[in-house]
């Protein structure tokens, strides 16, 4: 492509809605180096105020961990690969405190319920309930704009990606 056609090519934006309600935390402040050092990708984290986790965009569940503490979802159109990891060291709970409402390869619409959690139990028995929300294919996007503040699941945008 030459300069002129690149110049007029429309930038494509993709919005990621909040998969859970709570306060957005800078990814660098997550109490786990795998996330804070962006080893698995870039994103944000949310300190949850509710027990529901929903689809952040229209997509397909590509992986649900056996221990139910994490899942990945891929958008249908733009190929966004998002990894949601509820809490820190929650893998050690071995599924206790988590209830899954979907199956792998299931198609979902924004806002559809994926997991519910026993927030009180997880606060008591895990290292942290801060939930990293990571874009694992960041190299596919030119820009990631991250929001700040409090968010409501399925309603507020947490990240805007530009191709």
Residues noted as catalytic = 85
CA 106 to chain centre: 17
Class of residue 2 by CB neighbours under 10 A (exposed 0-12, middle 13-18, buried 19+): exposed
- From 114, 146, 149, select the one nearest 162 (Cα to Cα): 146
Please classify residue 95 by burial: count the beta carbons closer than 10 Å to its beta carbon, then call 0-12 exposed, 13-18 middle and 19+ buried. Answer: middle
In 3D space, the residue among 52, 63, 49, 9 whose CA is nearest the CA of residue 130 turns out to be 49
């Amino acid at each position: 492509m030459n300069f002129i056609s690149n110049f007029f090519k429309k930038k494509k934006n993709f919005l990621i809605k909040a998969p859970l309600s709570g306060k957005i935390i800078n990814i660098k402040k997550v109490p786990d180096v795998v996330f804070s050092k962006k080893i698995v990708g870039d994103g944000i984290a949310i300190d949850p105020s509710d027990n529901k986790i929903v689809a952040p965009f229209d997509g397909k569940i590509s992986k649900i961990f056996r221990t139910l503490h994490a899942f990945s979802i891929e958008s249908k159109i733009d190929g966004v690969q998002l990894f949601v990891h509820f809490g820190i060291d929650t893998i050690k709970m071995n599924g206790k405190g988590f209830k899954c409402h979907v199956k792998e390869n299931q198609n979902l619409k924004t806002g559809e319920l994926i997991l519910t959690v026993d927030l009180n139990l997880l606060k008591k028995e895990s290292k942290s309930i801060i939930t990293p929300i990571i874009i694992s294919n960041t190299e596919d996007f030119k820009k990631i704009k991250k929001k700040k503040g409090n968010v409501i699941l399925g309603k507020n945008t947490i990240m805007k990606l530009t191709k």
